Amino acid sequence: MGKTKGNLALLERGEERIVEMPLDSLNPPDFHPFNVVDNVSMCRLSQSILQYGVREPGIARPLAEGGYELLCGNRRKCACELAGIVSMPVIIRELDDANAALVMVDSNLDRRDKILYSEKAWTYKVMMDVLNHNGVRGERHSYEIMVERTGESKNQIFRVIRLTEFIVTLADMVDANQLAFTPAVEFSYLSIKEQTAVVSAMARLEAKPSLSQAQCMKKCSTGLRSNILSKNLRFTRQVC
């Protein structure tokens, strides 16, 4: 712990160092759009850490009430716990809430090979909210900065963010490739009650809507009824 205290002293003088921190002092963010799943990939990561150690440090910030918020490295922390390792290297940074959110989403976007649509949706929403709240420099819009950061078009960014309006069941279906992204975006404009009706109709009819059907349901969304859904879905059984 002497090494840790010394490095934290350097941090207070504005210098950044990698610190070996006990896992029980690292807390997950209150809101984290990325899932930490105990699956085959996690098992491989745990075995790799057991053999070679944590190759890349996480990123954390001090919390006013004590301990640290682990912004990047929650999968590595979980893998360490599975391997029976009690500490991991982290970079400690002094960050306000807005910059902490940006570090969290930027770092995870860069390091994850596969990102679920639901994870990407909430990540983009966090980025957009932070940029809008903080304002942008000059005449630039927040979406212009996001286009640069993500490499996706303005329209695609806004379509992805629409998925944050989903009920959990629909979000899970998109993540599992049981519902195509394009018609799914149209369903994001439906109310919670209407989205629930869509899920029920799809299960009952064993059908998946085309884009044109989803657009029709969106137009009829006020007072959407089961018979309207059935009429639009009953002839469709293909993945669109």
Question: 193-222 pLDDT, tens per residue?
Answer: 889 988 998 888 888 888 998 888 888 776
d(CA 234, CA 61): 53
d(CA 6, CA 138): 41
The amino acid occupying position 109 is L
3-class SS of residue 40: helix
Predicted pLDDT at 140: 72
| Closest C-alpha to 208, from 232, 172, 176 | 232
Whether the CB-CB separation of 19 and 62 falls below 8 Å is answered with no
Residues of the chain with pLDDT under 50: 1-13, 226, 234-240
Whether the CB-CB separation of 224 and 189 falls below 8 Å is answered with no
Cβ-in-10-Å burial (0-12, 13-18, 19+) of 93 comes to: middle
CA 164-26-55 angle, 5° bins: 90
Predicted pLDDT at 184: 93
